[in-house]
C-alpha cells in the first residue's frame, strides 16, 4: 500500500478504523514486551518503603538536630573516655546487664556510665534548690541535709534499678515463650531442617507471640554462621538472656551437636517439662492469692463494714448518754 492509497482511505472516511488498528497493534506490542520482562515486585516495594522511611527520618530529625545529636554523643564519649570508665572492672558486668535488658547499641555502655554519673548530680542540685532556695518544705537543717543526701543516693541507684527491672521483665517474657519456641523447634527438627535453618524459621514465627525470643534467636542464627565454634554462639544466647530454661535447652543442643543424639526427642521432653513448670507457677500464684488479698480486705473492706454495722448502735448509745 503506497502513500496515495492511504490518503485516499483517509479521505473516504476510514481514518477512525486505521487509527484504531494502529493503537491496537501498539498496545499488543507493549503487552508482549511487558509480559516478557522478569521483574521482582517485592524488591521494588521494599525499596520504596525504605526510601519513604529514610525521607520521614530525615524530615523528622533535620540536619541541625542530627548534627546536635552527634555532637552530644561525642561529648558523652569524651567524658566517659577521660574518666577511663570503659576500662574498669565494672564495664564487663555492666555490658552483661545491658545485654540482658535488651540494650545492644554500640553506645549503650557509654550512655549508661554517663547517666550513672550525671543523674546523682542533677537530682542533688534539684533537691538543694527545692529545699534551700525555694524552701518548699519547712524542715530542720539536719532533715534538709538528710533529704538532699537521700536524693543523691536515689539518683545514683536509679539507673541500676531501671536496668535491673527491664532485665527482669525481659527474662519473664522469655520464660513464657520458651515452651512454644521449643514446640516450633521440634516441628522444624522433625521436618529435617538443620539447626541454623530451624532457628531462622522459628525466629520469624516467634515474632508473633514473643518479640524478645525472636530477637535472641535471630542473633544466634547469625552468630552460628559467623563464629568458628558453634558452641560459643549457643553459649552467648544463654549469657545474653540469663534464663535457666534456655541454659538447659542450650546444653541439650550442645550435646546433640557433640554426640549426635536425636534433637527432636530432647526438645520435646524439655518443652513438656517447661510447660508443666509454667502451669505449676500459675497454680502457685493462684494459691498465694487469698493470702495476698487479706491485707487489702482488712484495710479497705472491714472498716466500712464495721461502720455500717456498728454505726447505728454507736449513735443510739451516744443519744442515750446525751439524755442522761
Q: What is the rounded CA–CA span in Å between residue 213 and residue 199? A: 11
Q: Are residues 114 and 163 in the same domain?
A: yes
Q: Are residues 165 and 178 in the same domain?
A: no
Name the H helices within 83-140: 90-101, 108-128
pLDDT mean over 106-120: 85
Q: Are residues 187 and 144 in the same domain?
A: no
Q: Are residues 184 and 245 in the same domain?
A: yes
3-class secondary structure, 116? helix
164-207 pLDDT, tens per residue? 999 999 988 888 888 888 888 888 888 888 778 888 888 888 87
235-244 pLDDT, tens per residue? 888 888 888 8
Q: What is the rounded CA–CA span in Å between residue 65 and residue 62? A: 5
Domain end: 261, 281, 301, which one? Answer: 281
Whole-number Cα distances in Å, 302 to 192, 216, 279: 63, 49, 34
Q: What is the largest CA-CA distance in the chain?
A: 136
Q: Are residues 193 and 238 in the same domain?
A: yes
Q: What is the rounded CA–CA span in Å between residue 108 and residue 159? A: 12
In the predicted structure, residue 136 carries a pLDDT above the cut 50: yes
Q: Are residues 138 and 81 in the same domain?
A: yes
Domain end: 121, 141, 169, which one? Answer: 169
269 within some domain: yes
255 within some domain: yes
Q: Are residues 184 and 268 in the same domain?
A: yes
13: region left, alpha or beta (phi > 0 left; psi from -120 to 50 alpha)? left
Q: What's the confidence (pLDDT) of residue 7? A: 47
Domain count for the chain, please give it: 2
In the predicted structure, residue 12 carries a pLDDT above the cut 50: no
If one compares 155 and 261, the residue with the highest pLDDT of the two is 155
308 within some domain: no
Domain end: 140, 169, 198, which one? Answer: 169
38 within some domain: no
224 within some domain: yes
12 within some domain: no
3-state secondary structure 168-219: HHHHHHHHHHHHHHHHHHHHHHHCCCCHHHHHHHHHHHHCCCCHHHHHHHHH
Q: Are residues 196 and 239 in the same domain?
A: yes
Q: Are residues 239 and 184 in the same domain?
A: yes
262-313 pLDDT, tens per residue? 777 777 888 888 888 878 888 888 888 888 888 888 888 888 888 888 888 8
Q: What's the confidence (pLDDT) of residue 165? A: 92
Q: Are residues 84 and 164 in the same domain?
A: yes
202-226 pLDDT, tens per residue? 888 887 778 888 888 888 888 888 8
Q: Are residues 218 and 242 in the same domain?
A: yes
Q: Are residues 115 and 182 in the same domain?
A: no
317 within some domain: no
Q: What is the rounded CA–CA span in Å between residue 185 and residue 194? A: 10
State the pLDDT confidence band at 34, using cuts at 50, 70 and 90: low
38-64 pLDDT, tens per residue? 555 545 555 555 555 565 555 555 544
Q: What's the confidence (pLDDT) of residue 31? A: 63
249 within some domain: yes
Residue 187: CA count within 13 A, CB half-sphere = 9
Domain of residue 177, residue span:
170-281
Amino acid at each position: 500500500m503506497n502513500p496515495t492509497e492511504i490518503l485516499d482511505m483517509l479521505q473516504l472516511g476510514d481514518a477512525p478504523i486505521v487509527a484504531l488498528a494502529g493503537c491496537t497493534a501498539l498496545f499488543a506490542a507493549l503487552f508482549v514486551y511487558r509480559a516478557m520482562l522478569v521483574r521482582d515486585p517485592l524488591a521494588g516495594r521494599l525499596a520504596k518503603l525504605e526510601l519513604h522511611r529514610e525521607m520521614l527520618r530525615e524530615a523528622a530529625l533535620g540536619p541541625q538536630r542530627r548534627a546536635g545529636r552527634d555532637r552530644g554523643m561525642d561529648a558523652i564519649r569524651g567524658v566517659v573516655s577521660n574518666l577511663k570508665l570503659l576500662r574498669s572492672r565494672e564495664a564487663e558486668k555492666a555490658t552483661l546487664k545491658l545485654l540482658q535488658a535488651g540494650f545492644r547499641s554500640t553506645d549503650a555502655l557509654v550512655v549508661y556510665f554517663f547517666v550513672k554519673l550525671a543523674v546523682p548530680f542533677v537530682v542533688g542540685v534539684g533537691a538543694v534548690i527545692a529545699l534551700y532556695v525555694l524552701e518548699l518544705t519547712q524542715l530542720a537543717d539536719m532533715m534538709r541535709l538528710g533529704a538532699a543526701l537521700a536524693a543523691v543516693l536515689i539518683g545514683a541507684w536509679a539507673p541500676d534499678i531501671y536496668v535491673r527491672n527491664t532485665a527482669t521483665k525481659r527474662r519473664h517474657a522469655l520464660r513464657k515463650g520458651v515452651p512454644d519456641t521449643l514446640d516450633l523447634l521440634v516441628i522444624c527438627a522433625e521436618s529435617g531442617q538443620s539447626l541454623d535453618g530451624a532457628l531462622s524459621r522459628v525466629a520469624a514465627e516467634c515474632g508473633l507471640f514473643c518479640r524478645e525470643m525472636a530477637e535472641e534467636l535471630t542473633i544466634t542464627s547469625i552468630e552460628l554462621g559467623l563464629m568458628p565454634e558453634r558452641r560459643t554462639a549457643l553459649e552467648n544466647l544463654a549469657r545474653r538472656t540469663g534464663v535457666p530454661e534456655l541454659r538447659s535447652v542450650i546444653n541439650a543442643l550442645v550435646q546433640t551437636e557433640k554426640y549426635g543424639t536425636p534433637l527432636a526427642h530432647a526438645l520435646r521432653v524439655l518443652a513438656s517439662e517447661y510447660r508443666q513448670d509454667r502451669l505449676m507457677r500459675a497454680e502457685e500464684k493462684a494459691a498465694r492469692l487469698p493470702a495476698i488479698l487479706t491485707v487489702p480486705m482488712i484495710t479497705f473492706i472491714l472498716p466500712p463494714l464495721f461502720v455500717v454495722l456498728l454505726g447505728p448502735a454507736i449513735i443510739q448509745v451516744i443519744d442515750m448518754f446525751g439524755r442522761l
